[in-house]
Each structure stands twice: as C-alpha cells, then as structure tokens.
C-alpha cells in the first residue's frame, strides 16, 4: 500500500498549518515541499508508525523505517519529521531519543534524522560531559567539518546548552590539545571565500620559520596562524608548505624540538589535511565502542567522504567497510542488528543519490514538461518528458531521471554553444545550437545536435 499524490497534498496542507505557511509557494518552503511531492510515494507503513492512535501506543516497523531513511537527505528528513508531527502530534526524534541507549537501530535512526549541526553539537557535548573527556570525538568534529559547518555547530551548542564550546573546552581539556582545539574553533569565524594561494605561500613560510628559527618551535605563532585561517585556507597552507620545502608539515612536527606539543599538533594537522585517513584509523581501533564509532562515522559522513574513507580503510586492512559492518553486527541473535547492518551498508553505497536526483531535477532543469509525440490530437500518440538543461548532465543522472518518469521516452535538450553563425541567414545572424538526447527507462536510445 502506498500513499497517493492526493494524500501527500493533504499531508502538506497539514504541515503548512502546523508550521504557519500561508501557501505552498512561500519561500523558503517551496523547494522542500514541492521536492517531497515529486518524490516516489512514501510507503503507507510510514504513516502507520503510530497505528494505534486511540490508545496512544506507538509501534515502529524497523525494517520499513530503514527503507525510508536510507533514501533521504537531511533536508527531506526534516520535512518528514514535520509531516509526522503534524499528522500525529509526536516528534519522531523524541521517540528514538528515548530508546537509543538500548537499541542499535534507534541510535542509528536518531543520528540520521537529527539535523547535522544539532547532532554534532550534542556529540561534542557528550564527549565533554562525565568524568573523562573523549578527545577523539572532539578532534573528529572540530577538525573534519567545514568552517561554515563548525560555525553552525557552535551556534547550536550555545542555543541548547547556554554556554560556548570554547568555555567547556577550556574547562575540560588540558595541555597542548586545549590550545590547538581552541584555535581551530576560533578559526571558523573566518569562513567563506576561496583559498588565497598567495597568502597560503606566505603563511607556509611563516610556519617554516616558526619551526626552524629557534631551538624550540614557536608555539604562539603557529596557534595564532591556525586561529586566523579557516579550514580551506589551512589546507592550502599545508599544500604550499610541501611545495616549498619538499615534505609535509606534519613530518616536520616529528622532530625532537617539537616535544609533546608537536605530537598533539601533528594529530590535529593530519586530521584536517586527511580526514579520510583519520576516520579509517578510528574504525581500525579495537575498543568497546566499536559499534557506536562505526554507526556514527557511516551516518555522519554518508554523502560526504564515505567512499574516500572506504578506500583508506581498505588500503590498510585489505577489507571494505561493508565487510566491517557485517562482522560487527553479525555476532548477535537480535534481528535488529541485521536491519542496522543493511541500513549502514546502504549508506556506504550512497543511497542519498535519490534525494540529490530529485533536487537536481528542480535546480538543473529550466523546464520539465510532457508532450504527446506523433499525433495532432490531445491525449494520443506517444508520451514523452522533455527537460531543458542549463548544462550537460551525467549519463547516470539522466538515466535515473528517465527511470523515475517511467514513460516511453525522456528527452534532454542542452545548449551546446552560445551561438553560431548560420551560413544561409541574412546579415550573418546568430542561431543557437542544442544537443538532444533521449532515454527510455532502460537505456539511452539516441542523440544528435540541432
């Protein structure tokens, strides 16, 4: 059983009332609402998660829910939460929050459905709470997120816990890690813009002088530099350093003059420069939190760099993340673990392409229409979908769109030159040229220029 288009529209209307939208064309809600309406019908089982409303009992079909979650992007998951809340007066995230400590699937669903900045802020808070600080998690969040993302995480942290991350790091973390992490957290204030390679060259020279000019490394200069450069700029500095001096900056930090501070700085620098290797190393470590680490990394890096992490992991172990997931969740008779394993493997294989497909249809197609070919009468002939594109799409994407339209032909018209002199036109007027490609749901069947 599936939810029809009309039922979707009804749901959207309820959501509009719930979050105070006057009409479905109100910015910024037009994109997520209409994108959701264009998506394949959601299984009715999703809307029946709260099947027994009269008694207030909530039953969740984990298998069905996993199928829904693994095909959704964070923006769409937020809309699903709003829809569910409007329909049933319950927050899905709250339902999973109550059971995540004792249920592997609830934990995975909670991490997946939570908004990225809210999720990362909570992870950092938990790593700073309790008797022992989890430095690995702090480094993971602070050093692998973009500066713009880190800024949002800091705002969410302050909003939820009425204090700044910097304050908690100052109180809970000691030694060189405290100074370095504080510098990284401050650096996100400078987010935005492309890396300045000229500045990167100058900063690389500054780093070299800080390392070589005295008997000990100049810690203050290095910390000051890190705090004033965003993540993208810092990566450019590290690239420039290798170009100028023939070796990685992290290698220079191995010197005896760098001491303990150098060892700690090297961990941070390597994490910023090669996050995929940092994650792969975390996954290879044997500890009691192996499932939690595996679940967290796969979910938080899905659609970002999970493929790179998979390659880095395979290079060191000769095995893939798919196999690691299967091994980690196979040693149990609990059927829920099998569902979690399938869910994580799906994310590793990048199921998020489904949402990106529909979002790209909205953003990349100037016009999406339907025509009837080989006829001069309405509702006859062969139906075809026609998409006018700003630029040539990847064949995989074009085929996926055609498969979703699921009609005899889907045509793509792309401007291939801005203009071209027509040999027979008077006064040498300019005529545009286009490339036409058409696909059936199964394969491309032709292309030519017009």
CB atoms < 10 A from the CB of 429, how many? 9
Considering the domain architecture, whether residues 130 and 109 belong to the same structural domain is answered as no
CA–CA distance, 434 with 391 (Å, rounded to integer): 11
Single out the residue in 113, 130, 161 at which a domain terminates. 113
CA–CA distance, 163 with 121 (Å, rounded to integer): 12
Q: Which long-range contacts (CB under 8 A, 24 or more apart) does 149-154 make?
A: 149/116, 149/117, 149/120, 150/184, 150/185, 150/188, 150/191, 150/231, 151/188, 151/189, 151/191, 152/116, 152/117, 153/117, 153/120, 153/121, 153/124, 154/121, 154/185, 154/188
Which pLDDT score, from 0 to 100, does residue 221 have? 95
Q: Which residue has the higher pLDDT, 413 or 183?
A: 183
Single out the residue in 351, 377, 392 at which a domain terminates. 351
- Per the structure, the complete domain to which residue 124 belongs is given by 116-273
Which pLDDT score, from 0 to 100, does residue 31 have? 43
Single out the residue in 113, 138, 172 at which a domain terminates. 113
Q: Both ends of the chain: CA-CA distance in Å?
A: 44
Which pLDDT score, from 0 to 100, does residue 58 have? 44
- Summarize pLDDT for 267-293 with one digit per residue, the tens: 999 999 999 999 999 999 877 688 899
Q: Is the pLDDT of residue 444 over 70?
A: yes
| Beta strand segments in 155-263, E | none
The answer to the question of whether 212 is labelled as a binding residue is no
What are the C-alpha distances in Å from 19 to residues 16, 22, 83? 5, 9, 10
Considering the domain architecture, whether residues 147 and 261 belong to the same structural domain is answered as yes
Residue 214 in tokens: 């005295």
Residue 28 in tokens: 């910024």
Candidate from 75-84, 141-150, 229-238 with smallest mean pLDDT: 75-84
Average pLDDT, the chain: 79
The answer to the question of whether 346 is labelled as a binding residue is no
Q: Is the pLDDT of residue 52 over 50?
A: no
Q: Which residue has the higher pLDDT, 101 or 323?
A: 323
CA–CA distance, 330 with 188 (Å, rounded to integer): 41
The answer to the question of whether 286 is labelled as a binding residue is yes
Considering the domain architecture, whether residues 10 and 99 belong to the same structural domain is answered as yes
Considering the domain architecture, whether residues 149 and 254 belong to the same structural domain is answered as yes
């Amino acid at each position: 059983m599936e939810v029809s288009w009309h039922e979707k529209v009804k749901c959207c209307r309820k959501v509009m009332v719930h979050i105070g939208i006057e009409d479905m064309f109100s910015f910024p809600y037009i994109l997520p609402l209409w994108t959701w309406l264009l998506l394949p019908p959601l299984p009715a089982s999703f809307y029946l998660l709260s099947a027994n409303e009269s008694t207030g009992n909530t039953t969740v079909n984990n298998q069905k829910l996993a199928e829904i979650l693994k095909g959704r992007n964070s923006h769409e998951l937020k809309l699903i939460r709003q829809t569910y809340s409007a329909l049933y007066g319950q927050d899905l995230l709250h339902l999973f929050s109550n059971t995540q400590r004792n249920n592997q699937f609830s934990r995975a669903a909670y991490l997946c459905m939570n908004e990225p900045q809210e999720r990362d802020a909570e992870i950092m808070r938990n790593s700073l709470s309790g008797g022992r600080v989890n430095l690995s998690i702090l480094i993971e969040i602070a050093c692998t997120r973009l500066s713009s993302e880190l800024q949002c995480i800091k705002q969410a942290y302050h909003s939820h816990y009425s204090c700044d991350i910097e304050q908690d790091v100052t109180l809970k973390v000691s030694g060189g890690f405290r100074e370095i992490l504080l510098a990284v957290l401050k650096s996100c204030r400078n987010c935005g813009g492309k890396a300045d390679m000229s500045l990167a060259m100058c900063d690389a020279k500054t780093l070299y002088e800080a390392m070589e000019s005295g008997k000990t490394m100049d810690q203050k200069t290095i910390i000051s530099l890190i705090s004033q450069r965003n993540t993208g700029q810092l990566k450019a500095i590290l690239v420039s350093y290798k170009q100028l001096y023939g070796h990685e900056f992290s290698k220079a930090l191995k010197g005896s003059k760098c001491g303990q501070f150098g060892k700690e700085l090297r961990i941070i620098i390597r994490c910023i420069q090669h996050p995929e290797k940092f994650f792969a190393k975390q996954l290879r470590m044997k500890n009691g939190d192996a499932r939690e680490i595996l679940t967290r990394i796969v979910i938080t890096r899905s659609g970002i760099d999970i493929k790179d992490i998979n390659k880095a992991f395979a290079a060191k172990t000769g095995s893939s993340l798919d196999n690691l997931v299967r091994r980690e969740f196979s040693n149990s008779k609990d059927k829920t673990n099998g569902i979690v394993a399938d869910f994580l493997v799906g994310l590793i294989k990048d199921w998020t392409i489904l949402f990106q497909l529909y979002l790209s249809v909205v953003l990349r197609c100037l016009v999406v229409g339907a025509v009837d070919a080989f006829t001069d009468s309405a509702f006859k002939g062969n139906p075809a979908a026609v998409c006018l594109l700003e630029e040539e799409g990847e064949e995989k994407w074009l085929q996926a769109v055609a498969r979703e339209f699921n009609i005899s032909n889907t045509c793509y018209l792309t401007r291939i030159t801005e203009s071209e002199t027509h040999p027979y036109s008077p006064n040498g007027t300019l005529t545009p040229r286009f490339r036409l490609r058409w696909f059936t749901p199964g394969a491309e069947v032709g292309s030519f220029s017009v």
